[in-house]
Amino acid sequence: MLNIEIKWLIILAINFFALFFILNLILFKPLLKLFKEREDTVKGSLDAAKDMSTKREEGITRLKRELAEGRGKAKETFEALKAEGLNKNKEVLGAAETEVSAMLDKARTEVKAEAEKARKALRSDVEKFSDEIVRKLVSV
């Protein structure tokens, strides 16, 4: 059978607790403190990463919204400028048509006047030629 002596058991227990106390002061507490600091650092980093991710998502959402607003404003501006250009085009075409119409009327009037002058000149020439032809026929 196993022979257990109380004296050695007490010395062993005292040795165990003394070693546990010394190792606790020298090794375990600093290691536990180091692990706690590491855990806090990792948690802080994770929290910071989550915050940055949230801010990034908010920024992306804000940029998309601003981009959509900018596109809407640009489209409105484009449509307004397009309508203004069409109106200006109509005005210019209307003015050009009026000017062309006036020029055509003036040209027609001038052509009619020239034609009338030519007719009068031809009439007088025809009368002269007919008188001359009659004189030549009568004199023959």
Instruction: Give the C-alpha separation, 103 to 78, whole Å.
Output: 36
Q: Which residue has the tokens 């607003």?
A: 69
Residue 19, both tokens: 């070693």
Q: Domain coordinates of the chain in residue numbers?
A: 7-103
pLDDT digits (tens, 9 = 90+) for 74-117: 999 999 999 999 999 999 999 999 999 999 999 999 999 999 98
pLDDT at position 124, please? Answer: 82
Contacts of 91 by beta carbon, 8 Å cutoff, 6+ apart: none
Q: What mean pLDDT is predicted for residues 52-74?
A: 96
Q: Which residue has the tokens 């009439």?
A: 123
| Concatenated DSSP letters of the chain | -----HHHHHHHHHHHHHHHHHHIIIIIHHHHHHHHHHHHHHHHHHHHHHHHHHHHHHHHHHHHHHHHHHHHHHHHHHHHHHHHHHHHHHHHHHHHHHHHHHHHHHHHHHHHHHHHHHHHHHHHHHHHHHHHHHHHHHH-
pLDDT digits (tens, 9 = 90+) for 1-44: 677 889 989 999 999 999 999 999 999 999 999 999 999 999 99
pLDDT at position 99, please? Answer: 93
